[in-house]
Amino acid sequence: MSKLIEVQDVVLRFYTYEGVVKALEGVNLYLKKGETLGVVGETGCGKTMTGLSILSLIPPPGRIEGGKVLFQTGDKTLDLLSQDDATLRNVRGKDISMIFQEPSSALDPVYTVGDQIAEALLLHRKKELCERVLAQIERERGKKGKRELEKKVYKKMLKNPDALSLKVFSKIPIIGRYRRLKKEVRKEVVNILREMEMADPERVVDMYPHELSGGMQQRIVIGIALACNPTVLIADEPTTSLDVTVQAQILDLIRRLKKKFGSSVVYITHDMGVIAELCDRVAVMYAGSICEIAEVKELFRNPLHPYTKALLESIPRPGKEFRSISGMVPNLVNPPLGCRFHPRCLFAKLICTEERPKMKEVNKEHFVACHLYSRGT
DSSP tag of 376: B
Beta carbon nearer to other proteins, 182 or 358? 182
How far apart CA 145 and CA 374 sit, in angstroms, is: 76
Is position 352 an interface residue for other proteins (rule: CB under 8 A)? no
User: In residues, how long is the chain?
Assistant: 377
Interface pick for other proteins out of 38, 93, 215, 357 (rule CB under 8 A)? 93
Of 119 and 277, the one with the shorter C-beta distance to other proteins is 119
Q: Interface with other proteins by CB under 8 A: which range of 93-101, 170-178, 253-261, 331-339?
A: 93-101
Between CA 239 and CA 247 the distance in angstroms is 5
Choose between 84 and 138: whose C-beta lies nearer to other proteins: 84
Other beta carbons within 10 Å of 236:
22
Q: Which of residues 207-226 bind other proteins (CB under 8 A)?
A: 208, 210, 221, 224
Q: Are 190 and 205 in contact (CB under 8 A)?
A: yes
Span of 115-123, 177-185, 300-308, 331-339 interacting with other proteins by CB under 8 A: 115-123
- Segment contacting other proteins by CB under 8 A, of 19-27, 97-105, 195-203, 243-251: 97-105
Q: Which residues contact 213 (CB under 8 A, 6 or more apart)?
A: 246
**Nearest distance in Å: CB 264, other proteins:** 17
Determine, following the binding rule CB under 8 A, whether residue 80 of this chain makes contact with other proteins.
Answer: no
Q: Any contact of residue 254 with other proteins (CB under 8 A)?
A: no
* Cα-based distances in Å from 84 to 12, 90, 124, 314, 373: 19, 10, 18, 44, 40
Q: Site residues for other proteins, window 19-78 (CB under 8 A)?
A: 52, 55, 57, 59
d(Cα 249, Cα 321) in Å, to the nearest integer?
31
CA distance 330 to 340: 8
Of 22 and 92, nearer to other proteins (C-beta) is: 92
**CB-CB contact of 100 with 238 (8 Å):** yes
Question: Could you tell me the smallest distance in angstroms from the CB atom of residue 231 to other proteins?
Answer: 14
Q: What is the CA radius of gyration of the chain?
A: 24
**Binding test (CB under 8 A) with other proteins, winner from 78, 80, 106, 285:** 106
Q: Which of 107, 235, 265, 284 binds other proteins (CB under 8 A)?
A: 107
Which has the closest alpha carbon to 25: 323, 359, 271, 279? 359
Work out whether 128 is an interface residue with other proteins (CB under 8 A). no
Cα separation of 375 and 377, whole Å? 7
State yes or no: residue 105 binds other proteins (CB under 8 A). yes
Q: Distance between CA atoms of 206 and 5, rounded to whole angstroms?
A: 36
SS3 state at 205 = coil
Q: How far is the CB of 22 from other proteins (least distance, A)?
A: 22
Q: Is 109 in the site for other proteins (CB under 8 A)?
A: yes
Q: How far apart are CA 253 and CA 259, in angstroms?
A: 10
* Sign of the alpha-carbon torsion through 138, 139, 143, 144: positive
Query: Smallest distance from the beta carbon of 224 to other proteins, in angstroms?
Result: 7
Stretch that binds other proteins, among 1-9, 103-111, 267-275, 368-376 (CB under 8 A): 103-111
| Residues touching other proteins, count (CB under 8 A) | 31
- Burial of 314-329, coded b for 16+ CB within 10 Å and e otherwise, reads eeeeeeeeeeebeeee
**91 near other proteins, rule: CB under 8 A:** yes
User: Is 17 among the residues that bind other proteins (CB under 8 A)?
Assistant: yes
CB of 282 to other proteins, least distance (A): 24
- Site residues (vs other proteins, CB under 8 A): 17, 52, 55, 57, 59, 85, 88-94, 97-98, 100, 102, 105-110, 119-120, 123-124, 208, 210, 221, 224
